[in-house]
Structure 1
Amino acid sequence: MFKRAFSKFFDPKYYTLLRLIALSAMKQKNKPGKIRISGFKIEYNDIRALMGMYHEIIYQDHYRFATGSEKPVIIDCGANIGLSVLYFHRVHPKAQILAIEADPAVAAILRRNLEANGCAATVIEKAAWSNSDSEITFGQAGADSGSIFSTENVIRVPTIRFKDILDEYPSIDLIKMDIEGAEMEVIEDCYSSLDRSKYVFIEFHSFPQREQRLERILELLASRGFRYKVLQARREERPFMQDITKQEMDVQLNVFFSKN
């Protein structure tokens, strides 16, 4: 335990995280910029959002998975500005990566970050949904929390049926899904195709005005042979004392599904 506690002081990623925390305290929300971190050239739209992504993706190494394939297939649904895509590209240089991002402003940054770092992932600029060839309202948050359920800066974006994407692949190594609350509708439509993948990551979001349906997601993936681990995505003190009516989002969890 003590070895693990002190090892972070010898990890360059720890000091990069501290740097991002300091910058987050100094800079305004939704203020764009550019930075070099851990060998990546990153354009961002919000330094606090980038700090959170770095902590989870790079520092905690949450998305690492085992594969015997030299060219694993990775579908990143909700790729945001592309830090996760760049991480996958670094760990698996020959991977076939598909990045899906609904927000056109964020997708533009995603494309520039991929180009700046020599990553040739395929980008789909549509909202993953339960049907295709339609449009859906989408609230642009300016950072990492744009959502079809947000009422801020609402635009209309084209949709693509996520199940149709999955069905194009005979096998998939990892599906990452971070689509800010739309996961329930998408999973209910595509769960029968999820077992093409050995690993599935879902960031679960709960909104006070909507029914909580985490148990349904767990049930659907368990029916396809997955086991799961649930981790808290954001730390919250005194949960019983929180007034959820004043929160835009009351629960955020990282759920890791895998097959034996």
Structure 2
Amino acid sequence: MDVLPNDHVGRHVFFTGTFDRPVFECLRLFAGDTPVLWDIGANIGYMSAEFLNLLPGAHVLAIEPLPDIFTILQQNLQEISPHRALCLNCAVSDHSGTARMQRISNNSGGSFICNEGDEVTIVSGDTLLDLAPAPTVIKIDVEGHEAQVLQGLKNVLSGTELRAVVFEHHTRTTMAEEVRAPLHKAGFKIFRIWKNALTWGLYAAEHPRGPTGYYPTADFAAIRDGITPPGVKFLR
């Protein structure tokens, strides 16, 4: 796949061939028998590309708001499977319209919605059901805009097809209530992804202390109650 080797994500992929592997593995394990990934904040498409490559029957909706990064995303996924991937040049929020996005030098994945920067199109997540199949898994990496994204996905979250939402949320202690509430209301249990040099696992997000021998990541997995696929390690 094409990467920007001086950019944060591209540099990792260029030198190691991977990026945030526990996040991808979590998405893969929970994807189900008819896997559909909504990749919200797709950047150059590493997660989507791996999903398409390793799950031959999978479909992907990949969403990236920055036009230059979107061009690379679209090229990467079209080379893999033009019929199983749909790319949209927009951001997801709790309403449709426009917003401003501040870029971070040498880290396009760190760009965030604020009051200045590039103008981008935003859409409410539920409107995407008119364009793509309902997701079985969702990845959200939106640099602090998680609450608004989840607010705009109320109908998607309540759909029976959705098995897991894997999202980045920078918190050392208590998760923001506006992030937690829509997931709990839709019947999801929230776990944090913990890892060490050898492996990773899920540990209940409400626990004040983590499991011995692991350290916390900024990534969480909201799992539909009752779904425990083989291969997932729930830490104690």
Please give the TM-score of this superposition, normalised by the length of structure 1: 0.65
Match of 2:121 in 1: 158
Is it true that 1:48 corresponds to 2:4 in the alignment?
A: no
Match of 2:230 in 1: none
Matches of 1:93 and 1:225, distance apart in 2: 29
Equivalences for 1:20-99 in 2 at 5 Å? Answer: 41-44=1-4, 46-50=6-10, 51=12, 54-57=18-21, 61-69=25-33, 71-99=34-62
Match of 1:257 in 2: 222
Is it true that 1:125 corresponds to 2:89 in the alignment?
A: yes
RMSD: 3.3
Residue 220 of structure 1 and its aligned partner are, at CA, apart by 2.1
Q: Deviations over 1:170-215 (max 9, x none)?
A: 7421011111111112212323531321111111146xxxxx8623
Q: Deviations over 1:119-141 (max 9, x none)?
A: 54100001111112x21111122
Contact 1:78/1:101 (8 A) holds in 2: yes
Matches of 1:100 and 1:170, distance apart in 2: 14
Three-state SS of the structure 2 residue aligned to 1:106 is helix
Residue 91 of structure 1 and its aligned partner are, at CA, apart by 2.0
Contact 2:43/2:64 (8 A) holds in 1: yes
Matches of 1:231 and 1:178, distance apart in 2: 14
Matches of 1:119 and 1:102, distance apart in 2: 20
Alpha carbons of 1:106 and 1:165: their partners in 2 closer, same or farther (altered >3 Å)?
Answer: same
Contact 2:37/2:48 (8 A) holds in 1: no
Matches of 2:95 and 2:131, distance apart in 1: 15
Matches of 1:195 and 1:97, distance apart in 2: 20
Alpha carbons of 1:113 and 1:169: their partners in 2 closer, same or farther (altered >3 Å)?
Answer: closer
Equivalent of 1:183 in 122, 133, 146: 146
Contact 1:85/1:99 (8 A) holds in 2: yes
Residue 54 of structure 1 and its aligned partner are, at CA, apart by 2.2
Residue 150 of structure 1 and its aligned partner are, at CA, apart by 7.8
Amino acid across the alignment from 2:182: L
Is it true that 1:215 corresponds to 2:181 in the alignment?
A: no
**Greater fraction helix:** 1
Q: Structure 2: which 5+ residue stretches go unaligned?
A: 196-215, 227-236
Amino acid across the alignment from 2:68: A
Matches of 2:23 and 2:113, distance apart in 1: 29
Residue 118 of structure 1 and its aligned partner are, at CA, apart by 4.4
Matches of 2:31 and 2:194, distance apart in 1: 26
Matches of 1:169 and 1:42, distance apart in 2: 25
When Rg is computed on C-alpha atoms for both structures, the one with the higher figure is 1
How many equivalent pairs are there? 197
Contact 1:89/1:119 (8 A) holds in 2: no
Matches of 1:226 and 1:146, distance apart in 2: 28
Amino acid across the alignment from 1:148: I
Contact 2:64/2:88 (8 A) holds in 1: yes
Sequence identity of aligned pairs in percent?
23
